[in-house]
Amino acid sequence: MRQGQETVDHPVTSKPRLRGSNQSGMRAHNERLVLSLVRREGALAKSDIARMTGLSAQTVSVIMRALEADGLLRRGEPIRGRIGQPSVPMSLAPDGAYFLGLKIGRRSLELTLIDFLGQPVASRRRIYAYPTPDAVVAFTAEALPAVLRELPPDRRQRVGGMGIAMPFQLWNWVQYVGAPQAEMDAWRNRDIQSELSTLAGMPVHVQNDATAACGAELVFGTGERPKDFLYFYFAYFIGGGLVLNGHLFTGRTGNAAGVGPMPVPGRDGQMRRLLNVASMSVLAQAMERAGEDPSTLWVNPDHWDVSERVLSDWLDDAAAGLASATLSASALVEMDTVMIDGWMPTGIRAEIVRRTTAALHRLDLSGIEPPLIRAGTVGAQARALGAAAIPLSQRYLVEAWGATVES
């Protein structure tokens, strides 16, 4: 896999070029190339793939027969009416492969099993006060067999790996999550990746949680997917990701575009971290001060039980912070889109998009081409789905996912 530090082609609206090689020894790459194209474009005939990749018709025919034999592609109905043989579109087979995604959050755990299309097959979730390694291992030991039982026995061998989406350096966030320092320090010396790989009996990959959510948008997002975009994900803390030239950019440590520490002005003009104005934890604190119960925020992403006054004040502050962060990012990286998603009702997400757009256009945009701000398309489950997309991408796609480690 390439690392994602790609030179950005222009115009930014063009799709990343995917080219194959007819040289011997390139079959594995070419197979991943074909699967990537079919995932991105939908059902394609052999002639379409040959034209789009530059591969010979014979090479494409061999590859697609192999992928069909492996159960990764399935035939559609022949398209007749053209000169010569009917065209047969090939699409991804949902049951061709399965992947597990474990989201380790600051308030909840979630294990999700997805099919080859990225559709959830089964999931288990647990809410806690704060995350510890022992809690994660115990939850996985209980939830993994239950999730796998949702598959017919003959399909369980098609589970191709597990991805973990989690905040990095959890021990540094004790003051924000209200956890005992001693228990959070356990994360310093525990190799959770290795432990869960042994427990699950399969490869395990680890990624920052917000970066994984951004990856879910890249791999599973619907509608028009821009080639370059900045991504904000609302959770206990706000996080983010960055896609450049159609590839997830993760940086040297895998934590690039971690937008939470970005300085933004508050209402009083003093500079604050974005995470201190636009995180769900900030909303929870405001609810507590108003005598409201914030626990509902972590239970159901489709419904928040919060008063209009408290919610509106938080939305204004969050939108102002996002607008300032967007302006700063746009001054460094040309991008045509900013996506906003999170663990929240779709109506509230739409309101954040609206208020952020308005706040951005109240700023001094001289010399800046303001990006389009729009809602993400994956939704509340983006972190768990993004975790599952890591091993999928590692095995079957050519898009660079960034620096992940396989145990």
pLDDT (mean) for 288-317: 96
Inter-axis angle of helices 181-189 and 133-148, nearest 10:
70
Task: Locate 293 and state its tokens.
Answer: 């119960």
**What is the pTM for the complete model shown?**
0.87
Task: Locate 182 and state its tokens.
Answer: 């001693």
Give the span between the Cα atoms of 112 and 126, in whole angstroms. Answer: 12
Ranking 1-5, 75-79, 103-107 by mean pLDDT, the lowest is 1-5
All structural domains of the chain: 27-92 (1.10.10.10), 95-209+384-396 (3.30.420.40), 224-376 (3.30.420.40)
pLDDT per residue over 141-173, tens digit each?
A: 999 999 999 999 999 999 999 999 999 888 887
Structural element, H or E, at residue 231:
strand 229-234
Do residues 362 and 265 touch, judged by C-beta distance below 8 A? no
Neighbours of 275 (CB within 10 A): 22
Q: Dihedrals φ, ψ of 248, to 5°?
A: -75, 120
Which residue's entry shows tokens 């494409």? Answer: 60
> How does residue 405 score in pLDDT terms, banded at 50, 70 and 90?
very low
pLDDT per residue over 228-285, tens digit each?
A: 999 999 999 999 999 999 899 998 888 889 899 999 998 888 999 999 999 999 999 9
DSSP letter for each residue of 153-182:
GGGGGGEEEEEEEE-S-GGGGHHHHT--HH
